[in-house]
Structure 1
């Protein structure tokens, strides 16, 4: 593959070795930074975030590599922050412990904006991104607050509740990416809102087999009730028509949000489109679940599309979403 990035002086500086960047084994470093960090510390922190995102949010990792150089490292810091929050729910056995971790991040954000970040790699990189791009604190805190609510560990009552969660998490992340790109545009914000909602809905669908294997179901209850599908149907991996109908309705709503987001494309400045590359990933899943006749448990949906990095690069080259 002829396009990508290279790591030079600890910085993701060009798109000239995508294949090697995607397949290179970068060992994570647990070394904490000091408040007066050296250039070596910053390189360690950068590699820590890059590796974390590459291992836990591969689609977001590839999308970040294709951003302009001045926003690439900050994007990885934001996505690493998002990964840290997202994995709290699955990594704790007690809600109290999860709340303590969320409180750590709330405090960390306050300290970052006081130029006094905690001795933690993701916090250090986030501090760098905040200083460089003057990121809005409200979006960062909103992500934490919404992820904190997720510790309640219950299904969404309705589709609107899932959309609200997606807006407060995924859309907030895209608003921050737009700030990294120096974009302030109301049409771009509208597109970001819809893309974030689509992203959250698709993530909920993609995670259904994993959650079902752990006897958890988070799909909107109103849609399940509409088609007479119980939580037990999903837990046992049912592939009956009523289960497929639930998936169809939810996937259709994600598709509607993508269409709304693209309706703004002619009004949005080109500098904003790199923040919307995630639409390629969402579109890919929705197409594959449609080909699987909305059987969310179809094994083909659990496999990564090997052509996705190329598709993302092509969309980036065309500067469209």
Structure 2
């Protein structure tokens, strides 16, 4: 049960977070990689099968693992669950239950009722993960700010994933009119601006830096909402990596 296994899972399944973690201090990597590997495993659980019942069983496995961690007793041996138990407090494990439960959406084909439902989904997934990452680094303060940052990051990632979700028969947007998409993007930018205006504890910075692409993606979505449905929100690779390098060198996020 090594950290290398978690790193490989994140590298393959969440390359943006992997790059951000590799730019963090070694001690922070050891805390973040098991958490992000857990997120990859949970996020992909509903997609490895077309059967909702099997997807539910896979998600229940992770709910049971979190329950074991929260209970403070023995935790099942697993390449991710075992190191995860070493970085999560019982309270942090309980806080991640909504993240797993929210992934049930991926197992079915019902659309979100409205924008608020989509934002609730992003808050439960990306928002919870951001808060848990900061706590794993010892940053207990600023959870409301981290929730805003995580939601904004989740929205940017959601926009990037929309073409693939549509191709798989999902309805990822409650309203796919250009003006509605642009409004969503602007709401994400407002959350990001609020987070930056408030600031974060220094210990939370390696977690917050995983959102380094958020502003660019949301700005492009607000300006060209047609690119959300058709693709084209990604920036050039050299620009993407340069943005992360600049933040790492300046200590920013």
TM-score under structure 1 normalisation? 0.71
Evaluate the alpha carbon distance shift between residue 168 and residue 290 of structure 1 in structure 2; reply closer, same or farther with a 3 A threshold.
closer
Q: Is residue 108 of structure 2 the alignment partner of residue 108 of structure 1? A: no
The structure with more radius of gyration: 1
Q: Is residue 81 of structure 2 the alignment partner of residue 127 of structure 1? A: no
Displacement after TM superposition at 1:57 (Å): 0.7
Please name the residue that 1:250 is paired with: 184
- Superposed CA deviations along residues 197-253 of structure 1, whole A, max 9, x for unmatched, are 112222221111112222322102xxx2xxxx5xxxxxxxxxxxxx43232122112
- Partner Cα distance (1:298, 1:102) in 2: 31
Displacement after TM superposition at 1:298 (Å): 4.8
SS in 2 for 1:249: helix
- Partner Cα distance (1:62, 1:72) in 2: 11
Please name the residue that 2:96 is paired with: 140
Is there any run of 5+ residues in structure 1 with no aligned partner, and where? 1-41, 230-242
Query: Are the equivalent residues in 1 in contact too, given 2:127–2:147 (CA < 8 A)?
Result: yes
Please name the residue that 1:214 is paired with: 168
Evaluate the alpha carbon distance shift between residue 90 and residue 303 of structure 1 in structure 2; reply closer, same or farther with a 3 A threshold.
farther
The within-5 A match list for 1:301-320 is: 301=233, 305-320=237-252
Query: Are the equivalent residues in 1 in contact too, given 2:185–2:219 (CA < 8 A)?
Result: no
Evaluate the alpha carbon distance shift between residue 309 and residue 251 of structure 1 in structure 2; reply closer, same or farther with a 3 A threshold.
same
Is there any run of 5+ residues in structure 2 with no aligned partner, and where? none
Query: Are the equivalent residues in 2 in contact too, given 1:292–1:298 (CA < 8 A)?
Result: no
- Partner Cα distance (1:293, 1:162) in 2: 17
Matched residue count: 252
Displacement after TM superposition at 1:60 (Å): 0.8
- Superposed CA deviations along residues 97-128 of structure 1, whole A, max 9, x for unmatched, are 01111111111122334442223201122122
Query: Are the equivalent residues in 1 in contact too, given 2:66–2:94 (CA < 8 A)?
Result: no
Please name the residue that 1:60 is paired with: 17
Please name the residue that 2:49 is paired with: 92
Please name the residue that 2:154 is paired with: 200
- Partner Cα distance (1:269, 1:82) in 2: 23
Please name the residue that 2:194 is paired with: 260
Please name the residue that 1:190 is paired with: 144
Please name the residue that 2:29 is paired with: 72
Q: How well do the aligned residues superpose, as a CA RMSD in angstroms?
A: 2.3
Identify the range of structure 1 (246-255 vs 110-119) with the bigger mean alpha-carbon deviation: 110-119
- Partner Cα distance (1:269, 1:53) in 2: 25
Displacement after TM superposition at 1:61 (Å): 0.7
Query: Are the equivalent residues in 2 in contact too, given 1:74–1:125 (CA < 8 A)?
Result: no
Query: Are the equivalent residues in 2 in contact too, given 1:165–1:200 (CA < 8 A)?
Result: no
Query: Are the equivalent residues in 2 in contact too, given 1:115–1:127 (CA < 8 A)?
Result: no
- Partner Cα distance (1:154, 1:251) in 2: 22
- Partner Cα distance (2:91, 2:248) in 1: 24
- Partner Cα distance (1:198, 1:257) in 2: 6
- Partner Cα distance (2:180, 2:153) in 1: 18
